[in-house]
């Protein structure tokens, strides 16, 4: 039995295309964008999006984007993080505060009852 296990392990290790260590994070290759380029990309996206109207600020240092400010829409905090990541930031520190008004609105949407779809009549 141990001979079969050894042969099976040898064959599996010799197959091309199998990942050697699937748990290791991917290694970025190629040059990383400068802080100024990342920040400019984020600011361009911010100007085109709804969260740009919130007046939140972003700074990039050593590839780390740091968000500050306040928003009245809960989803804007997550959108800011995604925006920075897709712009090339290697890490995001999101210090955006969610207003009490937004928290109350979100709490009011969770009444405990099942949500029902609203369909407009033709």
pLDDT tens digits, residue range 66-122? Answer: 999 999 998 999 999 999 999 999 999 999 999 998 888 877 765 566 666 777 777
Whether the pLDDT of residue 4 is over 70: the answer is: no
* pLDDT score for 28: 55
User: What is the number of other CB atoms lying within 10 angstroms of the CB of residue 7?
Assistant: 10
CATH of 33-108, one of 3.40.50.300, 1.25.40.340, 3.30.1340.30, 1.10.10.2840: 3.30.1340.30
pLDDT of residue 59: 96
CB 102 within 8 A of CB 73: yes
Give the largest CA-CA distance in the chain: 71
């Amino acid at each position: 039995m141990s001979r079969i296990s050894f042969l099976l392990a040898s064959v599996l290790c010799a197959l091309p295309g199998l990942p050697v260590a699937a748990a290791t994070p991917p290694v970025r290759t190629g040059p990383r964008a400068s802080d100024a380029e990342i920040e400019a990309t984020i600011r361009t996206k911010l100007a085109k999006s709804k969260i740009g109207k919130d007046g939140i600020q972003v700074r990039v240092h050593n590839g780390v984007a740091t968000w500050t400010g306040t928003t009245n829409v809960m989803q804007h905090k997550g959108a800011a993080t995604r925006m920075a990541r897709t712009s090339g930031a290697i890490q995001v520190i999101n210090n955006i505060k969610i207003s009490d008004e937004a928290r109350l609105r979100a709490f009011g949407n969770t009444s405990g009852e099942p949500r029902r779809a609203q369909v407009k009549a033709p």
